[in-house]
Structure 1
Amino acid sequence: MHENSLFVKFKNLLGEIGFLSDPVDCRPYCRGARYGQGDSLAVLRPDCHEHVVEIVRLCREHHQALVLQGANTGLVAASTPDGSGRFLVLSLERLKKYIAIDVVNRSVEVDAGLCLHELNQALEEHGLFFPIDLAANPSVGGMIAANTGGAKLIKYGDVRQNLLGLRAVLMEPAGQILDLRHALRKNNTGLDLKHLFVGSSGSFGVITRAVLQVHYLPRQTAVALVVPRDQSAVLELLQVLERDCGEYLSAYEGISGAALDAVLRHVPAITQPFHPEPCPEYCVLIELSSRADTSTGLDLNVLLSTCLEKMFGTVVENAVIGRAKDLWRIRHAISEAVRHEGRVIAFDISMSRSNLVDFRAQALQLIAAHYPWIRVMDFGHWADGGCHFNLVWPSDASEEFSDHIVQQIRDQIYDLVVLRHQGSFSAEHGIGPYNQMYYQRYTSQMQKHLSGQIQGLLDPENLLGLCRFGE
């Protein structure tokens, strides 16, 4: 193999802690958070930008394929090698030494391996935060590669909207550096090339540094868990909140009764918020937030309560206001709780908000008519059109689990999303091998043609990652 040439160079470059070749040591890097399991030739763990440059240069010289990996929290198998055994894993988990906070500019420059929680810990002492709200703890580079959104997108935007600049190492020319570390919010001096790397699933280059826009921590928040009259009322409620609460609306998260019930059964520390009333068929988690404190005359709890009271008996049937920490715990516990119910068939989809009610009704009808043993435990970001339409094949189902049936369900749901409702089959998680087939199925020929040309320009030998954006 490469043991006597390339591997020796890597060992000399990275040392024992930076070069892993024992299969036992490599195994954790070959398994995804939920999907993806393969084999790697070795794992490379550089701790500086210069080592990344040399790794990329050597891999191109030896025609060696790489899979890029940050915190490995992705859900589409883009950060893990396949079963071919031909990939090296380039893990950036040790590339996290540099962090420079510019409070005046409200920006931060960080190494790509720094994780979200670490970033926010450093920002907190300055009263700042990076507003990507997730249950996971991804790396900065991984968030850029997937263009992560999260629960606060409606107020703060996704990673793309908060990315000011980056530095990347290119495969073509081999090991060359594209340095776009401008902490500028306005720059019209040509193409904004940093966006090539956003949502690329690590296939266009190795991001080693990023400049991010950060935001002031809110001084007050108001949270409510609301039971709408019916599904159409979910969007009626959203419209009223956007009209009456405006820029204070920071989250609007739909939660199905089945998802809430799973949380209550599998997370004992969480109590039924509507007790003694039964669990509703559907509820919505609402958050308002502001930098202004109550001394300014703004009281978000009063604002939210007043807004909801006007809709009681028409749009709103029930509500729990306050207990922000407890209510957010429910939302963040859903993914883990649902996994205890059986095999999860996950969908990360989006569409125009106007289509969400019809889509959900049609999808529920489809599952009930053809797969009655499947349970729907959906939740999601209704304010930005996102929905995690997760299904569960229960452990005690009358039907034995079948990959063929799961594939059939996926095809039907995605056809419903993309073809009937002009939506996206991957709202937040990116492409990756897990979604490659659907990318080929639903993406236009011209989009694939142009994307493939760009990928071919930046990686002519297809050495970076497993995603292919061409035809």
Structure 2
Amino acid sequence: MTELISRLQNAVGAAHVLDAVEDQAPYLRDWLGKYHGTALAVVRPGSTAEVAAVMAACAAARVAVVPQGGHTSLSGGATPDASGQAIVLSLSRMNRIRKIDPIGQTVVVDAGAVLAKVQDAARDAGLLFPLSLGSEGSCTVGGNLAANAGGVAVLRYGVMRELTLGLEVVLPDGRIWDGLRALRKDNTGYALRDLFIGSEGTLGIITGAVLKLFAQPTARATAFVAVADAAAALKLLRLSRSHCGDRLTAFEFLTSATLDMILRQIPDTRLPFDALPSAAVLIELSDISDEPTLAARLETTLADAMAEGLVSDAVVAQDGTQAKAFWRVRESVSEALVREGKALKHDIAVPVAEIADFVKVMDAAVDAALPGIRPMVFGHLGDGNLHYNLMRPLAMTEDAFYGHGPRITRLVHDEITRRRGSISAEHGIGQLRMSEMPLCKPPLELELMQQLKRTLDPHGLMNPGKLLPNV
């Protein structure tokens, strides 16, 4: 492979082709430490033209390419396998904010731009890029696009696919598709953009994007609300929508067990209630009105909910500091889970109206299958995305618990499939769930995806071992 390494060095500069093991190490292990791989080289191009040159060289040598952004994947989607025969293509140097259009409310960015940087650039222009994730300080736009990221504001603004107008993509053979159009209406054939969003780097390398911006809210109102269960939370969601319309920006649900875990594992978190509730909802409204008016609307909504018996307690944040403290609880879930121990994690989606029944049925099913198992359930209730995580029974070792993992996960995913839901709402399939795709996708749907993959990537060089089996 000496000739390939030489071509890669000529394309991006020798300093940006890492072939020493110690230099490659940060790129070869996923964020959770679950997946480890090796690579022929780690290549760090600085422009779309350099990405194209790298792809052309790899295509000629029939060498696979693993795209990598902020390296925050939770499904092993950006980690190479152990063969050492692929290159890792890191977009970390491609981090420019190319252009902001305040009139058209768009921003053009490199795929390696960190999400928080895009948010800051929009804010500096008096606008908002609404995608908000716990990893926003390190995840990149390219990774967000590859996984069709969601986050806490999907209820109002939608997922990444809905926030994107155009893309720039380098194809597996090195050709560049320039689809960087800032058009909100364009009815000229197939929406090629949507093929690459959510494709997890298996069809090409996203190098740039045109993203939608929005008016920057001038007022926010946040409340922590105690409810009896998911059924009550769904009724509160319906009431909140009818009272608040599209001001309803976030509606996050957490069970009592999840809240208790956060309080135990993250010492600086606090709940605004006298006692641990059976479940809770974190509600946020945003608008371009004044904050007292928005807070009054939220208070009226919660008063009506309390009168209907949907809410047992509620606290509206009195200032930004208290609102941040409320969000600190929600944002601490992932950290608390890591401290609590290994979990069977399920990033699932079901029709919103079925969430309460799903949780009730699933909790009973997993407890019958493994008595003492501890569901830690939280998520974006308004868009149907739940993180249905399961912790080991307290008397069981982690190794023994993981031995039951395939059986328990099959129970969860079979129920999801029965309800026409999704086994991956926002984390992606990666290598974590790839083998399960034939179990949850109709054969024709899987066949069509495989045909698209073979058409765009006939030699199977793009992110092999991810998303689709048997290609």
CA contact (8 A) 2:65 2:463 kept: yes
2:434–2:469 Cα contact (<8 Å) kept: no
Match of 2:194 in 1: 195
The residue aligned with 1:374 is 373
Between the aligned residues of both structures, percent identity stands at 36
- Larger deviation, residues 435-444 vs 62-71: 435-444
CA contact (8 A) 1:343 1:395 kept: no
Shift of 1:332: 0.6
Q: Which residue of 2 aligns with 1:311?
A: 305
Q: Tell me what 2:286 maps to.
A: 289
Deviations 1:283-314 (A, max 9, x none): 011111102225xxx71111111111122151
Give the aligned partner of residue 132 of structure 1: 131
Aligned to 1:363: 362
Q: Distance in 1 between matches of 2:394 and 2:40?
A: 36
Amino acid at match of 1:312: M
Distance in structure 2 (CA, Å) of the matches to 1:201 and 1:188 = 26
| Residue aligning to 1:55 | 54
Q: Pairwise mapping of residues 58-137 of structure 1 onto structure 2 (< 5 A)?
A: 58-137=57-136
Correspondence for 1:142: 143
Shift of residue 15 of structure 1?
2.5
- Cα deviation digits, residues 197-238 of structure 1 (max 9, x gap): 010000111111110001122111111111113331111111
What is the aligned partner in structure 1 of residue 345 from structure 2?
346
Partner of 2:385: 386
Consecutive unaligned residues of structure 2, counting only runs of 5 or more, are none
Partners in 2 of 1:85 and 1:403 — Cα distance?
28
For residue 400 of structure 1, report the CA deviation from its aligned partner. Answer: 4.5
Report the CA distance between 1:414 and its aligned residue.
0.6
What is the Cα deviation at residue 430 of structure 1?
1.6
Give the match for residue 396 of structure 2: 397
CA distance in 1 between counterparts of 2:368 and 2:451 reads 43
CA offsets per residue over residues 376-417 of structure 1, 9 Å max, x none? 111001100110011122676367534431111111111111
1:442 maps to 440
SS in 1 for 2:174: coil
2:29 corresponding residue in structure 1:
31
* Aligned position for 1:335: 334
Question: RMSD between aligned alpha carbons?
Answer: 1.6
TM-score normalised per structure 2: 0.95
AA aligned opposite 2:171: L
Question: 2:196 & 2:11 partners in 1: Cα distance?
Answer: 27
Q: Secondary structure at the match of 1:340?
A: helix
Q: Equivalent residue of 2:432, what SS?
A: helix
**Aligned 8 A contact 2:366 2:411 in 1:** no
SS at match of 1:64: coil
Q: CA deviation at 1:98?
A: 4.2
- Offset of residue 372 of structure 1: 2.6
Residues 112, 142 of structure 2: 8 Å contact kept: yes
Per the TM alignment, residue 122 of structure 1 is displaced from its structure 2 partner at its CA by 1.5
Q: 2: CA distance between counterparts of 1:247 and 1:155? A: 6
2:51/2:170 contact within 8 Å kept: yes
* Aligned 8 A contact 1:450 1:470 in 2: no
Give 2:179's aligned amino acid. Answer: L
State the AA in 2 paired with 1:189: T
Gaps of 5+ in 1: none
Shift of 1:99: 2.3
